[in-house]
Amino acid sequence: MEDKELSPQESLDLIQQMIGKARKRYTDNSFYFLLWGWITIVASVFHYVAASYTSFEYPYAGWSLTVVGAIVSMVKGSKDGRTAKVHNYTDKMYAWLWASLGIGMFTIIFNGQLLGWSVVPFILLFAGIGTSVSGAMMNFLPLRIGAVIFWLLALAAFRVDPNQQMLLMASGVAFGYLIPGYIMKSNAKKNAI
Amino acid sequence: MPFEALDPLLHSQLRLAVMSLLISVESADFVYIKEQTGATAGNLSVQIDKLSSAGYISVEKKFEGKKPKTTCKITQTGVDAFENYVKNIQQYLKP
């Protein structure tokens, strides 16, 4: 590209072309969906099995994995942010959305005792908001379908005891995080070719 | 109605391309702008300096490890100038 003068029509065409180039075509956020999907499934299934079939005193022990998840997410997010060649508003909104939801989820879990440990319905509702908005931002249908599943499971979760809620939690993340996460990963690979 | 004169700083191929890229993103690296515009590093550097001196963009230079990293960001003055420029070229294109 040179430093030449343009006609008005050439100017408009150039603006259109450059804005088109800057528009992000595909975002691969599958890492976070798969990380949190697997952490939640392992922790919730462990919780259900330990509480239902064993006399293990700390069935909630698996949830300590979420601390590892939070650290890994923060380290990766900060490293990706530092090394990125371009910062989009979509990525910024996406990071703020999930950080805000994470704070909301943490607050609910931290005060779980006040709710009789019936926290899963609220977590499912929050996860549904995150997947639905992310799905809309990325124009990605599997996440939006995942959001509807999260909300339906939240409705059911309000009606069962906290131990059974763990199974609904595991099902929710399987449909809301893992399936969309794997589809996203495979799409990203195809786009890279 | 007389036509408004086009901003000479924006009415040039490479500077307009840089501004059009930066208006769509929060910030962009020099290397990214170079890749997207296909300009040479020397020419791009000169044009970025011109846009920066006019206050249309802000330029931050730092080191990432041992590598220099230049990040450009459009300013509010730049956004206003760009919007004004688009409005003016539309006048020229009206039948």
Asked if the structure places residue A89 within a domain, the reply is yes
* C-alpha span between A56 and A30 (Å, rounded): 34
> Which chain B residues are closer than 8 Å to A13 by Cβ?
none
User: Is A21 part of the contact surface with chain B (CB cutoff 8 Å)?
Assistant: yes
Asked if the structure places residue A176 within a domain, the reply is yes
Count how many domains chain B has.
Answer: 1
CATH number at residue B19: 1.10.10.10
Asked if the structure places residue A179 within a domain, the reply is yes
Asked if the structure places residue B36 within a domain, the reply is yes
> How many CB atoms are closer than 10 A to CB A118?
14
- CB burial class (10 A; 0-12, 13-18, 19+) of residue A119? buried
Confidence of residue A2 (pLDDT cuts 50, 70, 90): low
- Show the domain range for A147: 28-192
The amino acid that residue A63 corresponds to is: W
Asked if the structure places residue B17 within a domain, the reply is yes
Residue located via tokens 């300096």: B49
pLDDT-above-90 percentage for chain A: 72
Asked if the structure places residue B60 within a domain, the reply is yes
- Which is more confidently placed, B17 or A8? B17
Count how many domains chain A has.
Answer: 1
The pTM of the full predicted model, rounded to 2 decimals, is 0.83
Asked if the structure places residue B30 within a domain, the reply is yes
User: Is A25 part of the contact surface with chain B (CB cutoff 8 Å)?
Assistant: no
pLDDT digits (tens, 9 = 90+) for B23-71: 999 999 999 999 999 999 999 999 999 999 999 999 999 888 888 889 9
Asked if the structure places residue A126 within a domain, the reply is yes
Number of helices and strands (H, E) in chain B?
Answer: 4, 3
Of A80, A87, A103, A100, the closest CA to residue A29 belongs to: A80
In angstroms, what is the C-alpha Rg of chain B? 14
> How many CB atoms are closer than 10 A to CB A146?
29
Asked if the structure places residue A9 within a domain, the reply is no
Asked if the structure places residue A8 within a domain, the reply is no
User: Is A4 part of the contact surface with chain B (CB cutoff 8 Å)?
Assistant: yes
Asked if the structure places residue A129 within a domain, the reply is yes
- Which is more confidently placed, A145 or A26? A145
Asked if the structure places residue B4 within a domain, the reply is no
Asked if the structure places residue A167 within a domain, the reply is yes
pLDDT digits (tens, 9 = 90+) for A36-47: 999 999 999 999
Give this complex's ipTM. Answer: 0.88
> Which chain B residues are closer than 8 Å to A21 by Cβ?
21, 36
